[in-house]
Amino acid sequence: MASEFDLIARYFTRAAPDGLLGVGDDCALFPVPAGEQVATSTDLLLEGRHFFPDVDPKALGHKALAVNLSDLAAMGARPIGCVLGLALPRLDEPWLAAFAEGFHALAAAHGCPLIGGDTTRSAHDLAISVTVFGAVPAGQALRRDGAQAGDDVWVSGDLGAADVAYRLLDGQYPANAPLLAATRAALEWPQPQVALGLALRGIANAAIDLSDGLLQDLGHILAASRAGARLQFADLPAAPALAGLDAAPLRRALLGGGDVYQLCFTAPAARRDAVVSAAAAAGARVTRVGEILPQAGLSVLDAQGRPLADLPAGFDHFPAA
């Protein structure tokens, strides 16, 4: 008789593509093309902390992989494969089937097969750990430490919808069914910008994916690059669903809202046409939102050119150099 973990394995075992040894041996094996480096990243998602217990399991399977693919995108790395660790408090077969469906669909869309993993029983909450592997030509990865004074600051896609959806679901904002309907997909079905990351190799000087909010994530680029930046608030690409929002929640969503999984990157002003062409080729939308400055500090200017006061909490000002 099949044990429950045989059953779990059935949902996650897929034939590995040619050249890879996937699930079923002690280790997975994958080749690394000559002249390339392996890029790897891992994320741990905990029930109640990173996702609501009642989230659609198919969306959760998608997002568990999406947040990791987004890290590969931020480095300009091409996905090779991934491994999955699951700690499950109970065996719920329909839940597992839906989770696996969401996970495998995104894996297939990005050529990132599941090549290994482990499952165990958890006493209480659900925990999901995904590790991705990618490849990037040696020396060509997009890093956080390459921003140069005079670079433009760009963001892909639009901002703020995931933050609003999160606060609605968490009860921080009064119930608003139309607004939730218009923002929820951004929170639960983020689309990692892998093609854009690849297209920006050789063009962008620095990049990061937006997981913790624009100010905080751009702050990581600035700290690593020992530089500052000035953003124009009016140029930030707000998600269309945010059109009716008051000033304070709008500011919070655009500058501090996490779970965006778009890219923030810097590129020389002389490469604007190359950035736009690369984005178009990748099917991505990009918006120029500010510039990199030689001196430390991050300011956001309003339409009159005045710095915004009281930037959203959560933003960690630069550590002393």
> Which CB, 71 or 151, lies closer to Mg ion?
71
CB of 71 to Mg ion, least distance (A): 4
Residue 11 in contact with residue 23, Cβ under 8 Å?
no
CB of 51 to Mg ion, least distance (A): 17
> Which CB, 224 or 274, lies closer to Mg ion?
224
> Which CB, 70 or 205, lies closer to Mg ion?
70
Q: Which of 53, 145, 128, 51 is nearest to 83 (CA)?
A: 128
CB of 209 to Mg ion, least distance (A): 4
43 binds Mg ion, rule: CB under 5 A: no
d(CA 255, CA 259): 12
Sketch the per residue contact string, 201 through 230, with Mg ion: x for CB under 5 A, - otherwise. --------x---------------------
Residue 220 in contact with residue 277, Cβ under 8 Å?
no
Q: What does the block give as tokens for 37?
A: 């480096």
d(CA 236, CA 253): 11
Q: Is 50 annotated as a binding residue?
A: yes
Q: Is 211 annotated as a binding residue?
A: yes
Q: What does the block give as tokens for 64?
A: 């568990």
Q: Is 103 annotated as a binding residue?
A: no
Sketch the per residue contact string, 66 through 85, with Mg ion: x for CB under 5 A, - otherwise. -----x--------------
> Which CB, 128 or 182, lies closer to Mg ion?
128
Q: Is 118 annotated as a binding residue?
A: yes
> Which CB, 151 or 209, lies closer to Mg ion?
209
Residue 87 in contact with residue 122, Cβ under 8 Å?
yes
Q: What stretches of the chain adopt beta strand conformation (E)?
A: 36-46, 78-88, 114-121, 127-137, 152-156, 206-209, 228-232, 263-267, 286-293, 297-301
Which residues fall in the annotated binding site for substrate? 50, 259, 315
Contact residues for Mg ion, defined by CB under 5 A: 71, 209
